[in-house]
Structure 1
Amino acid sequence: MDLRDYLRMLRRRWVLISVTAAIVLGVSAALTFTAIPIYSSSARIFVSTTPTTESDAYQGGLFSVQRVTSYADLIGNSRDLAQTVITELNLDLTPDELIGKVTSEVVPETVIISLTVTDPDPAEAQRLAQAYADALSDMVRELETPEGSTTALLKATTVDPATRSDTPISPDPVRNLGLGVVLGLLLGLGLALAREFLDTTIKSVDDVTSAIDAPLLGAIAYDGSASKRPLVTELASHAPRVEAFRVLRTNLQFVEVDSPDKVFVVTSAVPGEGKTTTAVNLAITMAQAGHRTLLIECDLRRPRAARALGMDEAVGVTTILVGKVTLDDAIQKHEDSDLHMLGSGAIPPNPAELIQSRAMIEMLDAVRERYDMVIIDAPPLLPVTDAALLASLADGALLIVRHGKTTRDQLHLAAERLRQVGANPIGVVMNWTPTKGARGGYGYGYGYGYGYGYGYAPLEVPAATSTVKRKGSRTKLEE
């Protein structure tokens, strides 16, 4: 990933990053403002000898330096010293609990011990610190007095008595909240990167071209009203979804330009990608442009196209193939668009056998002679073989993918399924693309036309690649 990819990732995942940072900040704030304030008190103790000569002073200094580290260690570890303080102050604590409140350190290059006690009560912290300093002085005197002598070799003098501070050392709101923001952002970025690398769904032109050697012919933006009004005939003439299908119609006309008769299969890798709705609306858009168009419902397992157009499902492909009706009798006309429709007919127990029959080949040959464009709505490629068989009889297959759902592996496998039977994937149509912030330049606004103004095909969804033939250097949307 280069810098541009990271910036796109930030733009796509900013909600995840922001929510993660907000959660971590909230947890940090909750812990900070519900925590019990802790106060500290410190005392400084000077460890020294009582020299009688200059030589003794030098030797005593060395001796003090050697001893001071040991006494600093006793402060934080000696249960006897802690018990002495507990007894003196009549504390309801165990030696280990008291030791947990005390820390000490030797001031570098000195014989001074800095002793610090923490407690939720500032007065108690001061009292404990002073008691610890006094108890240490007594311990040093006891340990450093030789047997039979009354004079200690070392003495510990409290040079700075225990202080009292009414400002808590913990929690620190500024520090904790700042760390919460930083950690939240880092965690959010980590989650965003993880999702980016683990997410194999198709979201851009690059994702399409990395999975299949075919161009992106169109992108249908997400429309919340599509479930209630799936057909383009139910929308205004310049609605974004209508314009999207005009772009697809225009780009599709530049595929196989040397073939006067065009039969294309519309399919997808898996169910739920919107292939039937795309096939129906593409066929309607073709018919509205004045092309003699036939929509054939060849999803003989779960037919939906005839029902979407409000036509009879009982008569169609299967009834023609078994010889019950003729082609002319089975074709219906959609009055709103002048589209001709051939339904599925009765659902057969053996769809694959019917598709491979001689009668199917003869039926497709017959419709090639009658129509400028034949759109075949086929089942998904990966669950069943029907679509691949149909594509081998047609001029190619148009693959429908759903933005953010279809994976690159699924699209690649679908293309391989087509090539195994000698079929040609002519292009890809992406459904449910976001209207804002999309990668690859196919996020369209809801302005006049389709986000580019005046009804021209968007430049980021070209019809031409090495696998598609062009009529001209520019594609202008038909009105």
Structure 2
Amino acid sequence: MLRRGWWLGMVVLGFAVGSTAFFTSRQQPVYRATTMLVVTPNTRVEEVADIMRGLETLERRTVLATFARIPMAPEMLPAAAERLERDTAELASYRIAASVVPSTNIIRIDVDGPAPHLAADMANAAAAQTRDEAGSIYRIFTMRTLAEARPGTRPVHPDPRRNLTVAVILGAFAAGLAVFALDRVLRPVVVS
């Protein structure tokens, strides 16, 4: 079976790997920058009762969930563009996402975009804007930057290594099927 159809298997495998390499190389790289904010009671609040209420409120997580929605608001992109002194249209290809790190009072802000340095600048601008917005909504809480965003060194998308690994695995499977199918077609039919 393999002696007759090995060439077809190699063609199928080569096509799978070659086409994957081609299409992966044609995709624009996307870089991710991440910053983190920690939410704490505001130290300017003088009443001990207010501080205790603030801690109890943080335990219920609704305030954190509200704060995590701020970076994803439609108004965030123009606000970040203004902070960076850039045109909003220039930043339209960037995506901002935020989430609460489980079992913490930490908000993680991710920015994905084609330029790693600008993605990091946007993440830091979104964090500053989130801090300002949250402070105006709930004065008993404050946020401080736990980790500033740094430019990514490797794109998160596409991942050539992963894409080629999957292409080899699926290509080998398809090659095996092609060789098997060719053998079934070329095998002489024995009539008894």
TM over 0.5: yes
Aligned position for 2:146:
159
- 1:184 counterpart SS class: helix
Between the aligned partners of 2:177 and 2:38, the Cα distance in structure 1 is: 51
The corresponding residue for 1:17 is 9
1:172 maps to: 159
TM-score (norm 1): 0.35
Is the 8 Å Cα contact of residues 38 and 106 (structure 2) preserved in structure 1? yes
**Superposition deviation, residue 131 in structure 1:** 0.5
Give, as a single letter, the amino acid of the residue that structure 1 aligns with 2:24.
T
Helix, strand or coil: the match of 2:92?
helix
User: CA offset at residue 112 of structure 1?
Assistant: 0.9
Which residue number corresponds to residue 56 of structure 2?
A: 59
Counterparts of 1:81 and 1:141, CA distance in 2:
15
The reply on whether 1:122 has 2:119 as its aligned counterpart is no
Aligned residue identity for 1:44: M
Contact 1:83–1:95 under 8 Å retained in 2 = no
Q: 1:44·1:158 contact (CA, 8 Å) conserved in 2?
A: yes
Residue 188 of structure 1 pairs with residue 138 of structure 2: no
Higher relative CO (Cα under 8 Å, sequence separation at least 6) belongs to 2
Q: Under a length normalisation based on structure 2, what TM-score does the superposition of the two structures give? A: 0.79
1:81 aligns with 76
CA distance in 2, matches of 1:188, 1:93: 48
Contact 1:49 1:60 in 2 (8 A): no
* Identical counterparts, % of pairs: 23
SS in 2 for 1:156: strand
Describe the SS at the equivalent of 1:79: coil
Which has the larger Rg?
A: 1
How far the C-alpha of 1:19 sits from its partner, in A, is 1.0
RMSD of aligned alpha carbons: 2.9
Equivalent residues in 2 for 1:60-459, closer than 5 Å: 60-63=57-60, 65-76=61-72, 78-94=73-89, 97=92, 100-144=94-138, 152-193=139-180, 199=185, 203-204=187-188, 207-209=189-191, 213=192
Residues in 1 aligned to 2:103 and 2:172: alpha-carbon distance in whole angstroms: 42
Larger proportion of helix:
2
For residues 129 and 180 of structure 2, the distance between their equivalents in structure 1, rounded to whole angstroms, comes to 57
Q: Which runs of 5+ in 2 are unaligned?
A: none
Q: Distance in 1 between matches of 2:154 and 2:116?
A: 9
Give the C-alpha shift of residue 95 in structure 1: 10
Partners of 2:115 and 2:36 in 1: how far apart?
20
- Asked if the contact 2:41/2:55 (under 8 Å) is kept, the reply is no
Deviation at 1:126, TM superposition (A): 1.4
Give the partner amino acid of 1:137.
Answer: R
Count of aligned positions: 187
CA distance in 1, matches of 2:88, 2:180: 50
How far the C-alpha of 1:160 sits from its partner, in A, is: 1.0
Distance 2:135 2:109 in 1: 18
CA gap of 1:183–1:116, structure 2 versus 1, over 3 A, is same
